[in-house]
Amino acid sequence: MESTILGMTPTVFWTAFFVISTFGLYIGIAVWARAATTDDFYVAGHDIHPVFNGMATAADWMSAASFLSMAGLIAFMGYDGSVFLMGWTGGYVLLALLLAPYLRKFGKFTVPDFVGDRYYSQAARIVAVICALFISFTYIAGQMRGTGIAFSNFLGVPIEMGVIIGAIIVLFYAVLGGMKGVTYTQVAQYCVLIFAFTVPAIFLSMQITGTPIPQLGFIGTTTEGVPLLANLDRTLTDLGFTSYLQGQKSMLDMTAITLALMVGTAGLPHVIIRFFTVPKASDARKSAGWALIFIAILYTTAPAVAVFARANFIETVNESTYSIDVARGEAEAADQGDGATPQWFYNWERTGLLGFTDKNGDGQIQYRADAETNEVTTLDRDIFVLANPEIGNLPGWVIGLVVAGGLAAALSTAAGLLMVISSAVSHDLCRKVLFKNMTDTQELLVARFAAVGAVLVAIYAGINPPGFVAAVVAFAFGLAAASFFPVIFLGIFWKRMNKEGAIASMVVGLSITAAYIVHFKIGFSSAVLGACALIVAAVLMILHFGLKGESDTRPMFFGSLALFGVFLLGAFGVLPDIAPGTTDQWILGISPEGFGAVGMVIAMATAIVTSLATAAPPREVQDLVEEIRIPSAKAHVSHGPAE
């Protein structure tokens, strides 16, 4: 029997220890760095050192998806999984070179703030707010769900309770500390998550290849002297799987997905907002460089973790002898002799994320590519990072550390998204559009209430996630690529870009990309059509109230009412159901994950054509664009929130 610590198994004890101690650290930092002004709350007083901001940016970016899912994706996709490495790291090169320093020099609080002032338009600001909210809510739901899964697997609490606990923790330090508290908390979370990811990788690299550096182990040989990658590739093809070292996607689709992830990263509002927190424009570029280094530590380790996991899984599970007694908890796997199915398999089988069906009745597990003969009937690829320490038979404290790392990854990104949502509502919508006479104190209060409201929505979405989680990732990157990137890039580098071009670009890019992704991921059922109508109705109603007095907004008001009627028809199933598209219908063979790149190109073309066909921006806006691009010039845009 396994020894216990304070009546708990070592795994549960160390998990509880690391989770509770790290949560206590996060809350302590929030109390120490609490925000007293709107400047502190939104941009940490523009006073964060580039190295710390780079660490915070890395933690903000490396969500539960990066920490838990990416190694699993690469483990199963092989060469095709390289698009995630190239796209997500390449996005930071774009940020560092093309966006970060210029956005910082502009001196605003948020992306909608930049869009509204650069394009001298409340309508452009409102559309940007809607984009920021939609991207952020799709992301934060996934983070909350990841938190719940990590809690439920290792601490034995229901997923719903895990979601609520995580939400309360992140709400506490985001509402109290604002961006200042979030930044220093994310620095701590980066340290936790990178340590939690690399320590098991070092252990596994030593076990499998004899080298303590996972990146070298990945391209090295096993302890028997066999090249690791070639051996895994041969094993997989022998079992009927596709080659690990050759891609199945077309070159055009690979290019499109990589580009969509790159420009999507460069357009994500919770990433961009980090570059407003440093003292000056040159520090923004340094921050992006440091962030790339800190992210690269995890992203260069992930392929090694993926290979170790897939190789270990096949070696320990395939052709092993399964015991019904161990599955029932009546015996220990260690007592079953050589060739027995390892204990970790039974542990994960109880979660429902791993499953075995003895199709031929021989009592052994056959892992094959052919669905007819494959007996590993359930295999969730997201479990590999969490299961790796158990697969490698590592100590309980390593397993606990990995759980704490997964929670740190989920909560750091959730906090960054929470800041985007609260600032979009309080600063960009309320202060700049609806209630222009708000004081700083009132704005800070609204920001904190907005954060509370956002957390309640996130809790609901985390407990009741959409049935199309894969579509959410494609949505977030596709929409960021097609909406924010074109207007920010052209707004910085083309002074002829005007408000008409910006609005047309965001609307066209969003609409085309969203339609393509929804069509191929979930289809336009009656309910989905109704939901789309409701979203557009809400946007029109916000535009109606936000632009009242500037132009005739009655068509927006009545259009919103009409679309609300369409929503009701969809909710009651009256609208027609359109089945999802099939892969042979992809335009030029480009998958939904890569269509954000196409949407971005169309949005840019729309912006250029519309801008050239309409009046040029005011002279002072064109002069401002010129000033922002000159390193030594001092931009004449105020840093304050109340202009």
* Percent of the chain residues past pLDDT 70, beyond the cut: 87
Compute the average pLDDT of residues 430-455: 77
| pLDDT tens digits for range 200-216 | 888 888 888 888 888 88
| pLDDT tens digits for range 535-590 | 788 777 777 776 766 667 778 788 888 888 888 888 888 888 888 888 888 888 88
Query: In 3D, which of 463, 306, 450 has the Cα closest to residue 391?
Result: 306
CB 600 within 8 A of CB 263: yes
At residue 635 the predicted structure's pLDDT band, cuts being 50, 70 and 90, is very low
Here the tokens at position 85 are: 């490495």
At residue 118 the predicted structure's pLDDT band, cuts being 50, 70 and 90, is confident
Check residue 264 and give its pLDDT: 84
CB 40 within 8 A of CB 180: yes
At residue 130 the predicted structure's pLDDT band, cuts being 50, 70 and 90, is confident
CA–CA separation, 615 vs 609, rounded Å?
A: 12
Helix (H) or strand (E) holding 355: strand 354-355
At residue 109 the predicted structure's pLDDT band, cuts being 50, 70 and 90, is low
CB 625 within 8 A of CB 495: yes
CA–CA separation, 218 vs 206, rounded Å?
A: 11
CA–CA separation, 110 vs 134, rounded Å?
A: 15
Check residue 96 and give its pLDDT: 73
Task: Using the predicted structure, report yes or no on whether residue 2 has a pLDDT greater than 60.
Answer: no
Check residue 34 and give its pLDDT: 67
Task: Using the predicted structure, report yes or no on whether residue 398 has a pLDDT greater than 70.
Answer: yes
Compute the average pLDDT of residues 504-520: 87
Task: Using the predicted structure, report yes or no on whether residue 521 has a pLDDT greater than 90.
Answer: no
Check residue 86 and give its pLDDT: 83
Compute the average pLDDT of residues 219-235: 80
CA–CA separation, 447 vs 109, rounded Å?
A: 13
Check residue 550 and give its pLDDT: 64
Task: Using the predicted structure, report yes or no on whether residue 147 has a pLDDT greater than 90.
Answer: no
Compute the average pLDDT of residues 25-48: 69
CA–CA separation, 50 vs 55, rounded Å?
A: 9
378 CB-near residues (< 8 Å, 6+ apart): 352, 353, 354, 355
Compute the average pLDDT of residues 175-189: 74
Task: Using the predicted structure, report yes or no on whether residue 609 has a pLDDT greater than 90.
Answer: yes
617 CB-near residues (< 8 Å, 6+ apart): 119, 120, 495, 496, 497, 498, 499
At residue 468 the predicted structure's pLDDT band, cuts being 50, 70 and 90, is very low
Check residue 469 and give its pLDDT: 47
Among 106-120, 185-199, 374-388, 625-639, which is the least confidently predicted range?
A: 625-639
Task: Using the predicted structure, report yes or no on whether residue 466 has a pLDDT greater than 60.
Answer: no
Mean pLDDT, the chain, rounded, equals: 78
Task: Using the predicted structure, report yes or no on whether residue 636 has a pLDDT greater than 50.
Answer: no
473 CB-near residues (< 8 Å, 6+ apart): 65, 142, 593
CA–CA separation, 412 vs 424, rounded Å?
A: 19
CA–CA separation, 315 vs 312, rounded Å?
A: 5
| pLDDT tens digits for range 616-626 | 888 888 888 88
CA–CA separation, 494 vs 617, rounded Å?
A: 11
Among 244-248, 294-298, 464-468, 501-505, which is the least confidently predicted range?
A: 464-468
At residue 4 the predicted structure's pLDDT band, cuts being 50, 70 and 90, is low
Domains of the chain with CATH codes:
10-309+398-476 (1.20.1730.10), 314-342+349-381 (no CATH)
| pLDDT tens digits for range 312-369 | 888 888 888 888 887 777 777 777 777 888 887 887 777 777 888 888 778 888 888 8
